[in-house]
């Protein structure tokens, strides 16, 4: 056993007793080598007084007189051992007492601060009216929001075994009492299996009914028992026609897999354009409510808790999928018509002309605006309406340009995007007036639109 210098003053500590910072690493008595003791402690002089002061703090008894010469090492050793043994007993007693006091302090209830009353009863009573409104929006709409997992089937190149691996997660919401879920098309794109997680963490498979990749909307059907379907809570539909910049909005979704997360912000802009496919989405809502990966397909609500848009995309200059405060949502008025078509017909019904168009570079070289028709599909609205395709002269080998579409129903067409936008606003069976340039002359042709081919689902 090694003793350390007695000039390490023992002081109290909240947890027990610790020695002072002035530890000496040099042993006074070690392995019977007592000859070094005389160089450390002397009963005559300042060291004697220092030892007495240190011992008195622990109520230790120190002999008034002691023979301390080079011949009296044994007696001195006995005195020092007695003093240190007494000190050890005191330290143990103080340590136990300090530990007991600490345990009492930890288990005893803290006294209430002056002026602070304990919270009792309804926790909403402690909130402001604005906070209660926000809490109400969240509680009313959380059961309508679901988590969607996109599962892909991967085949091992060596064993040829098929393994199902989650590709990603997104959000969606309950549309009606029949278990239909609406989400973004990009959330379910390429999935071999879809799983829907409800608020109570129950998981069910889902089937894709149909989707529109250009509008980034898809409708699923949850494969759940009828008793579960009856308990589903559809979202409260609102309108996006009367939105104003500056009004408060709330986003609920599952960012980064964190289920049912609420963020709030305002409408930062209206009438934005978002390109999810060939046909741009018009009238997109811009918001500064935090939208992150996993929020896609979730709800954007107004202050009344009514659905006004589907959270779809963010502006991310870093490319890391981090919210920059600029998020976009598809307006609910655009979504309503698409969902109703899917539920009624099982597909998106969109009118088309039935033409193949030339790359825009062709007309740019000719310094012309419009859409050049390369091919007219047989038995299509364009063929029945008399539109002309580009042809090659069999004798000279020269190409004769087909009709160049420059307008529909008085709306100017300068490129293929504008052509798709105008047609997207028309209905199947509607007759439109197509304005074309033919042989350097402008002609008007009446074309009755037909139903487009089924929308792509990539499923």
Catalytic residues: 186, 216, 296
User: Please, are residues 233 and 177 in contact by the beta-carbon 8 Å criterion?
Assistant: no
Q: How far apart are CA 260 and CA 138, in angstroms?
A: 9
Q: Under DSSP, is residue 78 helix (H, G, I), strand (E, B) or coil? A: helix
Structure-block tokens of residue 47? 């060291």
- Angstrom CA distances, 409 to 116, 123, 154, 293, stand at 71, 60, 49, 41
Burial class (CB in 10 A: 0-12, 13-18, 19+), 382: buried
> What is the CB-side half-sphere exposure of residue 305 using CA atoms within 13 A?
17
Structure-block tokens of residue 384? 């029945």
The alpha carbon of 195 is separated from its chain's Cα centroid by a whole number of angstroms, namely 18
The alpha carbon of 330 is separated from its chain's Cα centroid by a whole number of angstroms, namely 18
Query: Pairing mode, if any, of strands 327-331 and 371-376?
Result: unpaired
Structure-block tokens of residue 291? 């939208």
- Angstrom CA distances, 353 to 126, 254, 417, 419, 427, stand at 62, 40, 14, 10, 12
The beta-strand segments (E) located in 63-202 are 145-155, 162-174, 180-183, 193-197
H or E, element range at 332: helix 332-345
- Angstrom CA distances, 74 to 35, 51, 204, stand at 10, 19, 86
Q: How far apart are CA 327 and CA 337, in angstroms?
A: 23
62 Cβ contact partners less than 8 Å away, ≥ 6 residues apart: 51, 52, 55, 83
């Amino acid at each position: 056993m090694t003793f350390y210098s007695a000039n390490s003053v023992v002081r109290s500590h909240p947890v027990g007793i610790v020695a002072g910072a002035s530890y000496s690493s040099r042993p006074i008595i070690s392995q019977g080598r007592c000859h070094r003791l005389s160089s450390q402690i002397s009963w005559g002089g300042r060291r004697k007084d220092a030892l007495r002061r240190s011992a008195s703090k622990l109520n230790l008894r120190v002999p008034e007189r002691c023979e301390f010469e080079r011949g009296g090492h044994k007696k001195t050793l006995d005195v020092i051992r007695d003093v240190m043994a007494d000190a050890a007993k005191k330290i143990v007693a103080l340590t136990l007492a300090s530990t007991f006091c600490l345990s009492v302090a930890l288990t005893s209830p803290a006294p209430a601060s002056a002026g602070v009353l304990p919270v009792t009863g309804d926790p909403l009573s402690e909130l402001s009216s604005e906070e209660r409104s926000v809490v109400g929006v969240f509680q009313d709409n959380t059961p309508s929001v679901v988590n969607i997992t996109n599962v892909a089937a991967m085949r091992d190149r060596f064993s040829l075994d098929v393994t199902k691996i989650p590709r990603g997660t997104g959000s969606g919401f309950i549309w009606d009492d029949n278990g239909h879920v609406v989400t973004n098309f990009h959330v379910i794109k390429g999935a071999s299996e879809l799983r829907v997680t409800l608020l109570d963490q129950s998981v069910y498979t889902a089937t894709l009914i149909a989707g529109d990749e250009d509008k980034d909307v898809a409708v699923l059907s949850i494969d759940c028992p009828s008793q579960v379907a009856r308990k589903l809570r559809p979202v409260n539909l609102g309108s996006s026609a009367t939105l104003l910049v500056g009004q408060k909005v709330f986003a609920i979704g599952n960012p980064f897999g964190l289920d049912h997360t609420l963020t709030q912000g305002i409408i930062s802009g209206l009438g934005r354009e978002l390109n999810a496919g060939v046909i741009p989405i018009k009238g997109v809502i811009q918001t500064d409510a935090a939208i992150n990966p996993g929020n896609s397909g979730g709800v954007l609500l107004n202050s009344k808790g009514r659905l006004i848009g589907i959270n779809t995309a963010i502006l991310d200059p870093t490319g890391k999928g981090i919210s920059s405060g600029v998020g976009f949502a598809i307006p609910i008025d655009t979504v309503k018509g698409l969902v109703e078509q899917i539920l009624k017909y099982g597909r998106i019904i969109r009118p088309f002309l039935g033409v193949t168009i030339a790359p825009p570079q062709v007309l740019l070289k000719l310094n012309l605006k419009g859409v050049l028709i390369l091919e007219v599909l047989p038995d299509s609205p364009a063929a029945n309406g008399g539109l002309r395709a580009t042809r090659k002269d069999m004798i000279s080998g020269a190409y004769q340009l087909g009709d160049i579409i420059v307008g529909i129903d008085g709306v100017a067409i300068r490129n293929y995007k504008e052509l798709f936008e105008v047609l997207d606003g028309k209905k199947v069976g509607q007759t439109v007036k197509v304005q074309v340039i033919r042989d350097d002359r402008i002609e008007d042709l009446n074309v009755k639109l037909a139903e487009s081919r089924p929308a792509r689902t990539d499923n």
